[in-house]
Amino acid sequence: MLRIETDDGEVGWGEAIGDLHQEVEQALNAIGERVEGSPIHDITNLIQIQRKNRFWRDGPVLETALSALEMALWDLKGKLLGAPVHDLLGGRVRERVRVYRNLWGRSPEEFADSAKEAISNSMTAVKVSPAGPTPDVISRVQLDEMEAVVSAVRDAVGPAVDLAIDLHGRLTPAASRRAIHALSKYDPFFIEEPCLPDGSASHLADLRALRTAQPVAIATGERLRSAHAFAEHLLPSPVVDIIQPDVSMVGGIRASVEIGAMASAAQVAMAPHCPYGPVQFAASMQVAATSPAHLIQEFQSLGGAGSGGGAPGGGQNWAFELLSQPFSIEMGHVEISSRPGLGIEVLEERIDEHMDMWNPHPPTVWNHPDGSHAEW
């Protein structure tokens, strides 16, 4: 998280990605030193200076640090003007935002139990990741294992709950073609990252072929870092049905809104990536409030922080609440706040009290049975 403060004591909050935490922490500290003393109202100009007044301009560490700074500046600007961020971006197009979360499990039964917990808490959509380490050409046994997870979850939630499937870029185009064919019988809401994005023309061609060959909606975008990358996926004709920008990676709130405008022009829906903390979710809610293309919002935390996040076979398992007023779900939706800025109050004392719980997980390493590396 990034905290910035004005001379008169007003505070704004932003959030960078939780991965690469050691590198990102250094970047946030460096950017904080560079912007100290800058005027906060000219947000776009300040971000442009930080991005373009240097030889190296790209990469996940720099992009997420600038994204956190941008959302913190919007939080400050809204508080100083007494208006929610979405009011400063043209006003809201909806009163509430539909949300979903990932399911946690290590077996079909645990995933099903996690799904039951979700719908018991008023959720109308969930997402499951059924793929483990997957070779370039998938076997019948591995397809059966994936099907077992998705089938158990579909049986647990019934036909009225939307079920998204995240393949997490773990499959090659060849494997994803077979997987989508096998999983389509469970009526997926969408299938996310059917193959690993690499930005190449062949990747775009593979996605376009997957999209047009079958009726299930295809989603991607959480690893894309620029408006240009999204433009390539959307224009002149879309290669997917749902685009998934991450507000903590693409440049912040305004960049996410601009990507949503491109999606709207291409008749593509937007379902932003949001697997981190409550500040990221608050910023994503401001994007959802003002973006006509917005379909549904992923969340990991509605206010919680510390160790935990999700329990296999269960629901959220945060150690403590970081927000004075956590978001709440009602009939599958979260109401859009009219409070100034991002609409949240961070309980700063909790950060110091629970600093010993800050223990980001190390990079996940998966291997195939022969010992070779597998995509996570």
263, 237 Cβ separation under 8 angstroms = no
For residues 360 and 373, what is the distance between their CA atoms, to the nearest angstrom?
A: 22
Q: Could you tell me which residues are beta bridge partners of residue 164?
A: 127
Q: What are phi and psi of 7, to 5 degrees?
A: -60, -30
What is the 3-state composition of the chain as percent helix, strand, coil, each rounded to the nearest 5?
A: 40, 15, 45
For residues 138 and 152, what is the distance between their CA atoms, to the nearest angstrom?
A: 21
| Type of residue numbered 30 | A
Kindly name the residue from 86, 203, 273, 294 that is annotated as catalytic. 273
For residues 192 and 88, what is the distance between their CA atoms, to the nearest angstrom?
A: 32
Burial class from Cβ neighbours inside 10 Å (0-12, 13-18, 19+) for residue 355 reads exposed
Q: How many CB atoms lie within 10 A of CB 64?
A: 28
316, 304 Cβ separation under 8 angstroms = yes
- Residues whose CB falls within 8 Å of the CB of residue 77, separated by 6 or more in sequence, listed in order: 12, 40, 41, 43, 85, 88, 341
Q: Which tokens is 8 given?
A: 């008169």
Q: Which tokens is 264 given?
A: 């709207």
Q: Which tokens is 319 given?
A: 């150690």
125, 162 Cβ separation under 8 angstroms = yes
For residues 336 and 328, what is the distance between their CA atoms, to the nearest angstrom?
A: 11
Q: How many CB atoms lie within 10 A of CB 339?
A: 15
Q: Which tokens is 219 given?
A: 């989603």
- To the query of whether residue 168 is one of the catalytic residues in this protein, the response is yes
Q: How far is CA 290 from CA 124, 199, 285, 311, in A?
A: 22, 28, 9, 33
Which of 248, 304, 258 lies closest to 69, judged by CA?
248
State the DSSP string of 115-155.
Answer: HHHHHHTT-SEEEE----S--SS--HHHHHHHHHHHHHHHH
- To the query of whether residue 273 is one of the catalytic residues in this protein, the response is yes
Catalytic residues, by residue number, are 168, 273
